[in-house]
């Protein structure tokens, strides 16, 4: 086991996190459609129309894929209207992430958390994913890291959905505490339930055997300074993207918050890049 794997494993096996997930009756499993898409992706000479046909089996999923593709493809001069085009733009890894997110979102109807909106979380995830891709392009030309930024940006708040579905009462208490004390949601979660949505989301994705770099980004996206391995452009991109998405979604009445991990930005000499990232993300 390499250093990255060991550090991440220690993070996901912490006592508070294990106690929390043990209290959950049954964590969600991956949907059958995910496995069919993975099987099609792994087939020799995979054809994009075949993937598109699988996605089209669920109207809600197809809508989400097209929405993300048009958001991520803002530099294109035309709208993306076919699932084949969307698959080509997003890549198969990100398509798999949309399937995962859609599957868990579909279960939030069972949630009884006043003030929590699954649709609002989806829109935030799409915005963060698109921002992460833009920021990542300023940091790297590595295609795998660019894809990881897009995928992790989409899945970064998966743990919040788990909280809303399985732990509605403590999650509502976390929402109230975050609002009352004007603190980030993940800090309130740690005070109330002893673990954050970032940690729970990473734990779930590890159970599903998603790629380790994606899991690492999600585990540390609020606290990148805690990551013990080499700096990842994807981690930087998703951390900055979510901070800027939170800024963009904040109403004029909200008290100002600093959503960035300033310690991390200082360590990595990235503080001066924030204004250019903000301008980049504000472009239509």
Tens of pLDDT, residue by residue over 97-120, are: 999 999 888 887 656 688 888 889
Give the number of domains in the chain. 2
Of 86, 106, 126, which closes a domain? 106
User: What per-residue confidence (pLDDT) applies to 3?
Assistant: 42
User: What per-residue confidence (pLDDT) applies to 255?
Assistant: 63
On whether both 39 and 146 belong to a single domain, the answer is: no
Q: pLDDT tier at 92 (50, 70, 90 boundaries)?
A: confident
What token pair was written down for 139? 């940091």
CATH, residue 160: 1.10.3210.10
pLDDT tens digits for 217-250?
Answer: 999 999 999 988 777 899 999 999 999 999 998 8
On whether both 183 and 199 belong to a single domain, the answer is: yes
CA 94 to chain centre: 11
What token pair was written down for 39? 């099987």
Percentages (nearest 5) of helix, strand, coil residues in the chain:
70, 0, 30
On whether both 167 and 214 belong to a single domain, the answer is: yes
On whether both 138 and 62 belong to a single domain, the answer is: no
Measured at the CA of 151, the angle between CA 150 and CA 154, to 5 degrees, comes to 90
Q: In the predicted model, is pLDDT for residue 28 greater than 90?
A: no
- What's the whole-number mean pLDDT along residues 55-75? 87
- What's the whole-number mean pLDDT along residues 152-172? 92
Q: pLDDT tier at 74 (50, 70, 90 boundaries)?
A: low
On whether both 86 and 124 belong to a single domain, the answer is: no
Q: What is the average pLDDT score of the chain?
A: 87
On whether both 98 and 124 belong to a single domain, the answer is: no
Domain span including residue 99: 29-106
- What's the whole-number mean pLDDT along residues 47-63? 88
Of 83, 106, 129, which closes a domain? 106
DSSP state of 250: -
On whether both 225 and 149 belong to a single domain, the answer is: yes
- What's the whole-number mean pLDDT along residues 174-188? 93
> In whole angstroms, what is the distance from residue 109 CA to residue 148 CA?
29
On whether both 235 and 138 belong to a single domain, the answer is: yes
On whether both 89 and 157 belong to a single domain, the answer is: no
- What single string gives the DSSP state of each residue in 21-55? HHHSS------HHHHHHHHHHHSTT--HHHHHHHH
Question: How long is the chain?
Answer: 284
229: left (phi over 0), alpha (psi -120 to 50) or beta: beta
Q: In the predicted model, is pLDDT for residue 6 greater than 60?
A: no
Residue 166's contacts (CB-CB under 8 Å, 6 or more residues apart) are: 24, 25, 27
**Quick one: which of 241, 246, 240 has its CA closest to 270?**
240
Instruction: Determine how many CB atoms are found less than 10 A away from the CB of residue 27.
Output: 14
On whether both 45 and 157 belong to a single domain, the answer is: no
On whether both 187 and 154 belong to a single domain, the answer is: yes
Of 106, 130, 147, which closes a domain? 106
On whether both 65 and 135 belong to a single domain, the answer is: no
User: What per-residue confidence (pLDDT) applies to 2?
Assistant: 47
């Amino acid at each position: 086991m390499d250093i990255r794997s060991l550090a991440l494993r220690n993070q996901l096996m912490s006592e508070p996190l294990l106690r929390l997930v043990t209290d959950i009756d049954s964590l969600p499993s991956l949907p059958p459609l995910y496995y069919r898409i993975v099987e099609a992706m792994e087939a020799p000479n995979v054809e994009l129309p075949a993937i598109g046909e699988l996605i089209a089996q669920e109207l809600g999923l197809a809508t989400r894929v097209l929405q993300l593709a048009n958001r991520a493809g803002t530099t294109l001069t035309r709208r993306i209207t076919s699932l084949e085009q969307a698959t080509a733009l997003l890549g198969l890894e990100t398509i798999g992430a949309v399937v995962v997110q859609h599957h868990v979102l579909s279960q939030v109807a069972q949630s009884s958390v006043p003030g929590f909106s699954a649709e609002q979380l989806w829109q935030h995830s799409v915005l963060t994913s698109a921002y992460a891709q833009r920021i990542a392009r300023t940091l790297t030309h590595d295609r795998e890291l660019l894809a990881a930024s897009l995928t992790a940006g989409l899945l970064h708040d998966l743990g919040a959905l788990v909280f809303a579905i399985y732990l509605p009462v403590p999650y509502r208490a976390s929402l109230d505490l975050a609002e009352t004390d004007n603190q980030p949601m993940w800090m309130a979660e740690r005070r109330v339930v002893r673990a954050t949505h970032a940690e729970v989301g990473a734990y779930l994705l590890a159970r599903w055997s998603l790629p380790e770099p994606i899991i690492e980004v999600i585990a540390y996206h609020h606290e990148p300074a805690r990551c013990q391995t080499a700096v990842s452009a994807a981690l930087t991109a998703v951390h900055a993207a979510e901070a800027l998405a939170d800024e963009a979604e904040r109403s004029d009445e909200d008290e100002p918050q600093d959503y960035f991990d300033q310690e991390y930005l200082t360590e990595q000499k990235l503080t001066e890049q924030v204004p250019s990232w903000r301008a980049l993300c504000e472009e239509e």
